[in-house]
Homo-oligomer: A and B are copies of this chain.
Amino acid sequence: MNKTMIGHEKLRLLILQVFLKNGFPKEVAEIAALNLVKADLRGIDSHGAARLPGYIRLAKAGRINIQAEPKTTRDTFSTAVLDADGGLGLWTAKEAMKIAIEKAEKYGSGWVAVNNSSHFGIAAAHAEMAIEKNMIGLAMTNASPLVAPAGATQAYLGTNPVCVAMPAGKYPPFILDMATAAAANGKLEIAERNGKPIPHGWAQTAEGKHTDEANTLKKGGTLLPLGSHADGSYHKGYGLGALVDIMSGVLSGANFGIWVPPFVSFLDVNRKDVGKGIGHFLGAWRIDAFEDAPVFKNLMEQWIEGVKSMNKKEGIDEILIPGEPEYRMEQMRRKEGIPLNEKVYEELMKMQ
């Protein structure tokens, strides 16, 4: 697959231009562009510029409200519900995280359930807002139904990612950002684009047999929860995906389960609504509500040095900390540029 190398600032401007051209307000477009570039910088290529046509397609179909005005509809000291007014999740989730951080500043922690929203991009873009405030950030979202519960052959859950981000002193921040499926759909898309098989344990056919076909989802197949099979405890991955769906969808008043309006174009738009739009759940704990931040950071350094000192498997040079591979990728791509898939680049240029 040919790649086009592009600087991150140039990429940001190209993406920004597309959002603006399609009617998004400047503030929303700026945040959304940064969010997509962040994904490409971190090496989450499925969630960067490659997703831009999807957002624009939904905006044109009226399924994303470009003039959205999110409103808080319920509020306690440490919690709130945000009705995102159908807005772009890349932006509305950041608005929600701002509220969570304000509450954490005052009350020790803050939690915002968001309904009536849309695809929010990489969870890390929202959770990491907590880091510079010396907080621990949490972000999760439900998503297009692609994952079968343990024992099922039909998709009920999204890949339902969850991210927790926190500072780690002199080391890169600890950022666990993971789909609760064995593999995110983006990984299947990449394998399919490259004409490669996928490892057993990522997906099953419509009949519930493990498969190595990267395009199985388009033939009625489903992704498998983390754990992949009964012996691998895939009921745990299913339980985690369920939890994310409930916190993001059920608790917020958004759609959940098979009723989540799909982002991927190969799924039909849902037949009925059980809530509003898709949902997110975001929040933050203030570190010094538990421990002085410098002490916490010092202990995090010790924690990391402890992990790094463990004996390694043959062929493994270094034990990595959650978020470290993405951090290194970002450092490299900031300097050397982002290798955009040629098709993604062509589409981006067409949209200018």
Q: Provide the A245-272 mask, 1 if CB < 8 A to any CB of B, else 0.
A: 1110011110011110000000000000
CB contacts under 8 Å to B, within A169-212, are 174, 176, 178, 182-183, 199-202, 208
Which residues from B are CB-within-8-Å of A253?
290-291
| A18 on the B face (CB < 8 A) | no
Bound-state Cα–Cα, A290 to B113, Å: 7
Which residues from B are CB-within-8-Å of A182?
227, 232-233
Q: Provide the A294-312 mask, 1 if CB < 8 A to any CB of B, else 0.
A: 0010011011001100111
* Size category, A interface: 35 or more
| A319 on the B face (CB < 8 A) | yes
How many copies of this chain? 2
Nearest opposing residue in chain B for A305, CB measure: B257
Q: Provide the A199-234 mask, 1 if CB < 8 A to any CB of B, else 0.
A: 111100000100000000000000000111001110
Which residues from B are CB-within-8-Å of A164?
243
Bound-state Cα–Cα, A154 to B151, Å: 33
Pick the residue among B78, B245, B246 that contacts A77 (CB under 8 A): B78
Binds B, one of A6-14, A281-289, A343-351: A281-289
Bound-state Cα–Cα, A311 to B156, Å: 10
| A332 on the B face (CB < 8 A) | no
Q: Contact: A290 with B243, CB < 8 Å?
A: no
Known A176-B242, A289-B79; contact A316-B252, beta-carbon cutoff 8 A:
no
Pick the residue among B74, B183, B239, B250 that contacts A322 (CB under 8 A): B239
Bound-state Cα–Cα, A255 to B153, Å: 43
| A314 on the B face (CB < 8 A) | yes
| A125 on the B face (CB < 8 A) | no
CB distance from A294 to the nearest CB of B (A): 13
Q: Contact: A312 with B153, CB < 8 Å?
A: yes
Q: Contact: B237 with A310, CB < 8 Å?
A: no
Known A78-B108, A178-B236; contact A319-B152, beta-carbon cutoff 8 A:
yes
Q: Contact: A252 with B107, CB < 8 Å?
A: no
Pick the residue among B113, B233, B299 that contacts A226 (CB under 8 A): B233
Which residues from B are CB-within-8-Å of A274?
299, 302
Bound-state Cα–Cα, A148 to B306, Å: 12
Bound-state Cα–Cα, A245 to B174, Å: 13
Bound-state Cα–Cα, A322 to B149, Å: 11
| A2 on the B face (CB < 8 A) | no
Nearest opposing residue in chain B for A177, CB measure: B239
Residues of A in contact with B (beta carbons under 8 Å apart): 74, 76-79, 81, 106-109, 111, 113, 136, 148-154, 156, 164, 166, 174, 176, 178, 182-183, 199-202, 208, 226-228, 231-233, 235-240, 242-243, 245-247, 250-253, 256-259, 274-275, 285-287, 289-291, 296, 299-300, 302-303, 306-307, 310-314, 316, 318-322
Contacts A78-B109, A113-B291, A178-B233 given; 18 further ones with Cβ under 8 A?
A74-B289, A76-B286, A76-B289, A78-B289, A79-B286, A79-B289, A109-B111, A149-B310, A149-B319, A154-B310, A199-B232, A202-B231, A226-B232, A226-B233, A252-B291, A256-B306, A274-B299, A275-B299
